[in-house]
Each structure stands twice: as C-alpha cells, then as structure tokens.
Amino acid sequence: MSLPADLCEATLQRILARHPDLKPVETPLAELRSPMSPAPVGSVRIFRGTAVAKLVYVGLVVPMIHLDSHMIFAFTPEDSAVPHFTLDSVYGGSYHAFHLDLIPRADLAAHLPYLDAAFRPLTETFDAASAAEGLSPAAIGPRQRAIMSPWMLVNRATEEAFAGINGYVDAYADHWSGLVTDGLPAEAAASLAGVDLAARDAAVRGNIFSRDVDPVWAQVSRLLGDETTDAIRAELVANG
C-alpha cells in the first residue's frame, strides 16, 4: 500500500474501533471502473451506525495518470450538532497532499460555546501542523474555505513530511470521536437552540459536494463518467 492508502486505512480502522456499531453495507459502487483501464480503478465502502450515522470511503488509484487518492467522510445524524469528520490523502505523481477537518454543524461566529467545545481544542494540533517543515498550503479558494472550518488543514507535503502527519490526523479523529461518544457540553448544546440542524446540514453538504463548488468532481467524471460520479456524490450528500 502507498502512504496515502496507509494513512486513510489506519484512520478508518481507528474510527471503526472507537465506534464498533458501524457495520459495512453493500453498495453497487464497491468496484469502480473506467474506460482508461481494463482493471478496476477504485472502490467505495459504506458503513452505517447510530452515533456515527454513515461513513463513506472513496479510493481511486490509477498509476497511468499518477493518481492515488483516498478519502473518508464520517457523518453524524442529520439532527446532531456534532461535526462531521473528513480526511483526504493523495499522491499526485510529484507531490503528496492531505485535507483534514471537522465540518461545523452551526455558524461558529454566532455560537461561541459551540466553537469552544467542538473546535478550539484542535488549535494546538492545527498550529503544530501549520508550522511543520515540509508542509505547505494547498491551492484552495476562499469560496471552498468558507464552507469548511477555520481549523481545516489542507496542505501539500514532501514525502517525508507526509509520513509524519499521522499524529495530526489521530488528534483530529480522536477529538471528534470523543464528541461523538460524550456529546457536547450542556452550554454548547444549549447555545444551538433554534438552529435547524438538519436543514443546515442538507444545505452545507449540498454545497461541499457540488460540482459548481469543487472542481475535483469534473476530474472524477472524466475518469468514471457522470453517472457513477453522481452516484458517489449522492452517497456523500445525504445519510439516507
């Protein structure tokens, strides 16, 4: 396995160990094919549970175009205030890259107790990763940044630096798992009274996985075709 595949698989297994009610379910996307290759070029794995409602893994590996991409999205229920967790780990032929974040379920600027409980504990890890040698900011525009969190780590990395990011990923994953298991403090939960969590989640996830917002979907369509790409997007947009 490659460094990106190893990182994603280790994180997936870490989440499954913390949340053992997550169970794999069958999906027609289990084997992804492309006109570019006679062999499968990737796979989708889906797990369902309770406190973590849905976990989606998407892997795409096409050596001929130097693509080695692995992604996890772990979603809490629609009416939960606990953030979603995401990790992307990629090798693009001349660079490694990763994207690590917790996706807010409410407006952080308007709900400071929520911000402090769900995100502020990540600051030490965020600062350490931001200053790490061999990591540099990846090209991502303010439009995409606006729908994620200020604690998002999205970086290119040297091979040596990428091999050393496991601790940052584990810290984010473990903090998130703690929120899932223990829930938000009472003050943080109370501060969200009146927020339509499910409606906001539907809107935010629609934007995150929008073809208009994220140009990666055009690249995936060139590899897999529009129909398969939209079926993957559909698994990410909703827990159902």
- What are the boundaries of each domain within the chain? 3-237
pLDDT band at 38 (very low <50, low <70, confident <90, very high): confident
State the pairing for strand pair 23-25/32-34. unpaired
The per-residue pLDDT of the chain, averaged, comes to: 96
* CATH architecture of the domain with range 3-237: 3-Layer(aba) Sandwich (3.40)
Residue 229 contacts residue 220 (beta carbons within 8 Å): yes
Q: What is d(CA 90, CA 142) in angstroms, rounded to the nearest whole number?
A: 21
pLDDT band at 44 (very low <50, low <70, confident <90, very high): very high
Q: What is d(CA 224, CA 208) in angstroms, rounded to the nearest whole number?
A: 20
Residue with tokens 């402090």: 116
| Alpha helices, DSSP H, located in 93-165 | 112-118, 123-131, 142-146, 159-162
Q: What is the DSSP code (8-state) at residue 183?
A: -
pLDDT value for 187: 96
| β-bridge mates for residue 136, sequence order | 156
pLDDT by residue (tens digit) across 114-151?
999 999 999 999 999 999 999 998 888 899 899 999 99
pLDDT value for 139: 81
